[in-house]
């Protein structure tokens, strides 16, 4: 299948061609860093990459997708992707054989679509300048699956951005990209943030910092109950910047949630600096929650409180 109205180069049939190898190398971090590019694989990731590309193109922003490779069968199964690729300013899908696609792909069972994308992370300054109300901060989270789950949860909860500190997983890792299920292309992502500088910046921008901690002294259920009570009584939501110790956390205020490493959790000094340690209650016999699951619960608790409180706003 060719894309309507666009001239097509001959299908790529040699799995040992230099271009095939160059694309395949993007599965490795050295090649990604050198070229500033990564792979989006499968229909969902490729579809969202193309949509972001079109959105940026319409606003004069930098292109996202530089190359698109597809098998004829994959384009037949996904006519919407073929239509997206046929839009102005988008690269034509280069047809490839199943064997070529398999050599390019980092997965055992490729789905017939690969997009080569430019890095799309943004600066911390740009995120904070937009006066965010809800942020997810991953502190040394190293598992690609967990990072992707948290990013998807943040996207679903309507968070304004996701921030990864230094020593966290490379979010452009093919497994991490796949695990975001396209959400990587939906909201701003900051990579490699210095954790100490980050905390100071969050406070300066009037964000309450909540540390998700299984041993926290504040119960998430209690915070939700208090938020509901304030909404019903019409009490104010104004608080102090940064969530200083001794202040009661309020979910309806602009908030940055900190989520820690899978094995060690959050560093003790960071938990202390955050000011609020919030635990997700466990009613059954499980020892703990996976960090991705805990993040989903916490982010939705904040999102619900903020959306049910019209008066919620950041200080000027």
pLDDT digits (tens, 9 = 90+) for 255-312: 999 999 888 888 888 888 887 899 999 999 888 889 999 999 999 999 999 988 654 4
pLDDT confidence of 236, banded at 50, 70, 90?
low
Residue 79: phi, psi to the nearest 5?
-60, -25
- Any idea how long the chain is? 316
> Does residue 78 surpass a pLDDT of 70?
yes
* pLDDT higher than 70, residue 77: yes
Residue range 185-231, pLDDT digits in tens = 999 999 999 988 999 999 999 999 999 988 888 899 989 988 888 88
* Type and span of the H or E element at 223: helix 220-233
Is the pLDDT confidence value at 237 over 50?
A: no
- In contact, 258 and 294? CB cutoff 8 Å: no
**Contacting residues for 301 by C-beta, under 8 A, at least 6 apart:** 220, 223, 224, 251
Residues above pLDDT 70, as percent of the chain? 90
pLDDT band at 182 (very low <50, low <70, confident <90, very high): very high
Q: For the chain, report the end-to-end CA distance as a whole number of angstroms.
A: 55
Distance CA 15, CA 101 (A): 8
For range 82-92, the mean pLDDT: 80
Burial of 92 (0-12, 13-18, 19+ CB in 10 A): middle
| pLDDT beyond 50 at 5 | no
Task: For residue 287, give Cα distances in angstroms to 24, 168, 235, 254.
Answer: 41, 24, 37, 30
pLDDT above 80: residue 4: no
- The tokens describing 163, both together, are 């921030």
Work out the pLDDT band at 242, boundaries 50, 70, 90: very low
3-state secondary structure of 257: strand
pLDDT, position 239 = 41
pLDDT given for residue 80 in this prediction: 93
CA–CA separation, 151 and 184 (whole Å): 7
Q: Are 71 and 101 in contact (CB under 8 A)?
A: yes
Q: Which of 109, 113, 106 is nearest to 81 (CA)?
A: 113
Compare 120 and 286 and report the one with higher pLDDT: 120
Q: Does the global pTM surpass 0.75?
A: yes
Predicted confidence (pLDDT) per residue in 35-75, tens digit: 999 999 999 999 999 999 988 877 777 789 999 999 999 99
Q: How far is CA 47 from the centre of its chain?
A: 16
What's the rounded Cα separation, in Å, for the pair 198 and 181?
Answer: 27
Residue 14 near residue 20, CB atoms below 8 Å: yes
137-161 pLDDT per residue, tens: 999 999 999 999 999 999 999 999 9
Whole-number pLDDT of residue 235? 64
Residue 121 and residue 145 in contact, taking contact as beta carbons nearer than 8 Å: no
Q: How far is CA 22 from CA 96, 140, 175, in A?
A: 15, 30, 19
Could you tell me the two tokens for 299?
């982010």
Give the pLDDT score at 147.
95
- Per-position b or e across 140-166, b if 16+ CB within 10 A of its CB: bbebbebbbbbbbbbbebebbbbbbbe
**pLDDT at residue 31 is higher than 60:** yes
How far is Cα 203 from Cα 41, in angstroms, rounded to an integer? Answer: 38
The average confidence (pLDDT) of the chain is 88
Q: Which of 1-15, 38-52, 83-97, 172-186 is predicted least confidently?
A: 1-15
CA dihedral 283, 289, 292, 297 (to 10 degrees): 20
Residue 309 has a pLDDT of 67
């Amino acid at each position: 299948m060719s894309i309507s109205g666009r001239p097509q180069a001959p299908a790529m049939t040699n799995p040992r061609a230099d271009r095939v190898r160059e694309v395949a190398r993007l599965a490795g971090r050295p090649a990604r860093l050198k070229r500033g590019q990564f792979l989006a694989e499968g229909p969902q990731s490729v579809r969202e990459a193309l949509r972001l590309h079109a959105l940026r193109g319409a606003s004069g922003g930098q292109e996202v997708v530089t190359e698109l490779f597809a098998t004829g069968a994959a384009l037949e199964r996904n006519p919407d992707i073929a239509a997206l690729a046929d839009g102005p300013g988008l690269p034509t899908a280069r047809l490839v054989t199943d064997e070529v696609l398999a050599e390019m792909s980092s997965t055992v069972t490729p789905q017939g679509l690969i997009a080569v994308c430019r890095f799309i992370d943004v600066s911390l300054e740009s995120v904070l300048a937009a006066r965010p109300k809800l942020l997810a901060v991953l502190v040394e989270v190293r598992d690609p699956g967990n990072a992707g789950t948290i990013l998807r949860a943040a996207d679903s909860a309507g968070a304004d951005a996701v921030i990864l500190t230094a020593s966290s997983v490379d979010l452009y890792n093919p497994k991490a990209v796949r695990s975001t299920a396209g959400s990587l292309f939906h909201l701003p992502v900051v990579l490699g943030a210095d954790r100490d500088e980050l905390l100071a910046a969050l406070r300066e921008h009037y964000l309450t910092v909540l540390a998700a901690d299984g041993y926290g002294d504040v119960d998430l259920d209690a915070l939700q109950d208090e938020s509901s009570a304030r909404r019903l009584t019409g009490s104010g939501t104004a608080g102090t910047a940064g969530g200083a110790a001794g202040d009661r956390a309020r979910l309806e205020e602009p908030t940055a949630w900190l989520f820690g490493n899978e094995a060690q959790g959050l560093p003790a000094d960071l938990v202390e600096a955050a000011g609020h340690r919030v635990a997700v209650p466990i009613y059954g016999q499980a020892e703990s929650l996976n960090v991705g699951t805990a993040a989903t619960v916490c982010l939705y608790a904040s999102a619900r409180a903020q959306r049910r409180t019209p008066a919620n706003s950041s200080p000027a």
